[in-house]
A and B are shown apart, each in its own frame.
Chain A
């Protein structure tokens, strides 16, 4: 039962091609799923759900989306915050416009709307590359936020300019609004995350994912061997924005409950998700999980340590926190430019050979 292929005989192509070819990995995966679905709901309390678990689940979805765009297709984007805002405002308009629509469909539709907007802002990527593209996506970020704060239609002419999520239920259990319990919030985010991670994993190892990676590695060469850059770049933008839109919709409806575009979806959100992708590892599904966990849990732990235990002022702790995040990014890049996922891969390689590495 150690981590190795030996003794695990495959008798069909399907079993040879499965996502986790090693038995240990496979059981580990089922174990994690079992814990997440069956045990976590029993032990979660309100504080940890709100401070750590739900943001972790939501940001993992966003990181998965951005990882598809940057890590798999090689298109640098700084517009994540703006696209999350699109998801949030789309879900708000759908929830208030069609009160009978189930929240699951609302969130999925918000994802599709964001995908459309993402394709629109992805169009320049056909002509612009690298840093130039990053700046072009900043245009999306600032323009979208401006649009949502200045056009009253988007926030239903509310005098504060805020949008707030009404209560919606799934199978009779409220998941949004003030009456939603911690467990129901956790479950809806978890279901979305598992479904989307499964989708991402299978997309990236199929035809589409290989086309993306060909474009990432060298777009001209990819074009010569018959990959259509228009199709693959735009699908990458669409899929990535779909994920990010769903993350934005979940963040607003389930987690925040009330939001204001400039504050909740500013440029700092774009950078936060970008850091998750980089620290976790570019081009890795596991990396999105690791990066999101690292950047959500890190500040929470630091805050507990500095503010609650040592009794320092919150602003002082906040300064130290961003210092440490900055330093960690630099250290990660120096030690392991390919992120936590690469570290994990090395560990697995070592495990496979253990205890006789020669």
Chain B
């Protein structure tokens, strides 16, 4: 095989794993959009907040220590313990449940029956609030997140591809793990929504709010549940991205990367989020590989959006989205 083809294959394989990461974020969007029609812009910041909380709990940081220090002139920073990863994850899940409840109780309960654009704006406001709150609570410096997943070049992949093609591919072990975990997460979500009582209720609400209400499904409970699920998805995404590149503000920008994924896959489709993520991941890596050197590099910043834009012109509802029917 020619070298270019091999390099392209390697780029595509890396794109696949990156695509899984995008899909993870997009998944949280889809969950909330399906169940409540809210386009949740704060998904990326939720991932950041979850990752910050995880690191904070793990390393025993004192919440709001900067604020306390500023007001009382103390010098508090750490409790001086460190929690095992699993306990910290459980604690973070609890925090995300509380967050979901608060969001439902204090924001979206008051915004029932508003236009979608107003709800969208409210989630942008929420994103700002949560970003400031997270930084205030845990400090804004870049943190290392170590959840015990091995990192660095995957030797197994290197060896296997070397035996096949005579050229070892470089792939990050962490990203392979992320792909695996994402697969488990999606499988879990599918099983949950297909085979449990709450999952059924969730699908009923997604189908038709009023019909679901009239058969006695509590909308509020479902909304809290869905925001919790989105919080857990955000936690997983935050863990993976945080372990990869440190927990910092830029983590919240992955939400923007998830938007074209959503457009490709359609706002209401879980498989769409996955397929869209993979297409974007592979597409932007290959485009950068072939076209990047010609037009100045760093095309990853915009390629996904342009792809989504061109795609939209031909199929406005996305790959798997429901057909948009308009009536006058």
A104 at the interface (CB under 8 A from B): no
Chain B contacts for A129, CB-based, 8 A: 316
Contacts known (A271-B124, A330-B122); A135 close to B132, Cβ less than 8 A: no
Contact assessment for B120 and A139 in the assembled complex, using a CB-CB cutoff below 8 Å: no
User: Which residues of the partner chain A approach B132 to less than 8 Å between Cβ atoms?
Assistant: 319-326
Q: Interface stretch among A31-39, A218-226, A233-241?
A: A218-226
**Complex: A326 Cα to B115 Cα, angstroms:** 19
Say yes or no: is A315 at the interface (Cβ < 8 Å to chain B).
yes
By the criterion CB–CB under 8 Å, are A139 and B121 in contact? no
Task: List 6 A-B pairs, minimum CB-CB distance, nearest first.
Answer: A326-B129, A326-B128, A329-B125, A323-B132, A139-B305, A322-B132
Q: Are A124 and B309 in contact (CB under 8 A)?
A: yes
| Residue count of chain A within 8 Å CB distance of chain B | 47
Main secondary structure of the interface of B (DSSP, over half): helix
Q: Are A337 and B118 in contact (CB under 8 A)?
A: yes
Give CA–CA (A131, B313) in the complex, Å.
14
Number of interchain pairs (Cβ within 8 Å): 131
Stretch of B90-98, B143-151, B233-241, B293-301 that contacts chain A: B293-301
Flag whether B308 is at the interface (Cβ < 8 A).
yes
Q: Out of B66, B118, B306, which one reaches A333, CB within 8 Å?
A: B118
Would B301 and A132 count as touching, CB distance under 8 A? no
A327 surroundings in chain B (CB, below 8 A): 125, 129
A306 to nearest B CB, angstroms? 9
A238 to B289 Cα, complex, angstroms:
35
Instruction: Tell me which residues across on chain B come within 8 A of A328, comparing CB atoms.
Output: 125
Known contacts A139-B309, A326-B130, A316 near B66 by CB under 8 Å: yes
Complex contact B312–A128 (CB within 8 A): yes
Q: How far is the CB of A273 from chain B (nearest CB, A)?
A: 12
* CB pair A127 B316 closer than 8 Å: yes
Of residues A146, A150, A326, A337, which shows the largest number of chain B Cβ atoms within 10 Å of its Cβ? A326
Please name all residues of chain B whose beta carbon is closer than 8 Å to the beta carbon of A138 when the two chains form the complex.
Answer: 256, 259, 305
Cα(A81)–Cα(B88), bound, Å: 39
Residues of B within 8 A of A310 (CB): 70
Q: Residue of B at shortest CB range from A337?
A: B118
Instruction: Check B128–A139 contact: CB distance below 8 A.
Output: no
**Does A45 reach chain B (CB closer than 8 Å)?**
no
Is A136 positioned at the interface, with any CB of B under 8 Å from its CB? yes
List residues of chain A with CB within 8 A of the CB of B67: 316
Q: Answer yes or no: B127 CB below 8 A from chain A CBs.
A: yes
On whether the beta carbons of A333 and B120 are closer than 8 Å, the reply is: no
Complex interface: chain B residues within 8 A of A330 (CB):
107, 122, 125-126, 129
Could you list which residues of chain B lie within 8 angstroms of chain A, going by C-beta atoms? Answer: 39, 66-67, 70, 107, 110-111, 114-118, 120-122, 124-133, 135-136, 140, 256, 259-260, 262-263, 267, 295-299, 301-302, 305-306, 308-309, 312-313, 316, 326, 328
- Which of A127, A220, A278, A323 meets B128, CB within 8 Å? A323
Tell me the A residues contacting B by CB distance below 8 Å. 76, 124, 127-132, 135-136, 138-139, 142-143, 145-146, 150-151, 218, 220-221, 224, 267, 271, 274-275, 278, 310, 312-313, 315-316, 319-330, 333-334, 337
Whether the pair B131, A322 counts as a contact (CB closer than 8 A) is yes
Tell me which of A76, A139, A328, A334 has the highest count of chain B C-beta atoms within 10 A of its own C-beta. A139
Cα distance A293–B114 in the bound complex, in angstroms? 26
Question: With A135-B308, A313-B70 in contact, do A326 and B140 touch (Cβ < 8 Å)?
Answer: no
A124 touching B312, Cβ below 8 Å: yes
Take A132-B263, A132-B312 as given contacts and tell me if A326 and B131 are in contact as well, using a CB distance cutoff of 8 Å: yes
Q: Which of A131, A321, A324 has the most CB of B within 10 A?
A: A131
Q: Would you call B313 and A143 a contact (CB within 8 A)? A: no
A206 CB to nearest B CB, Å: 25
Contact A319 to B130, CB < 8 A, known contacts A143-B302, A334-B111: no
Q: Do A139 and B328 form a contact, CB below 8 Å, given A333-B111, A337-B114?
A: no
How far apart sit A57 and B131, CA to CA, in the bound complex (Å)? 28
Q: Which residues of B contact A337 (CB under 8 A)?
A: 114-115, 118
Q: CA–CA, A130 to B306, complex, Å?
A: 17
Partner of A220, one of B114, B306, B328: B328
Instruction: Give Cα A326 to B103, complex, Å.
Output: 13
- Report yes or no: B328 in contact with A130, Cβ–Cβ below 8 A: no
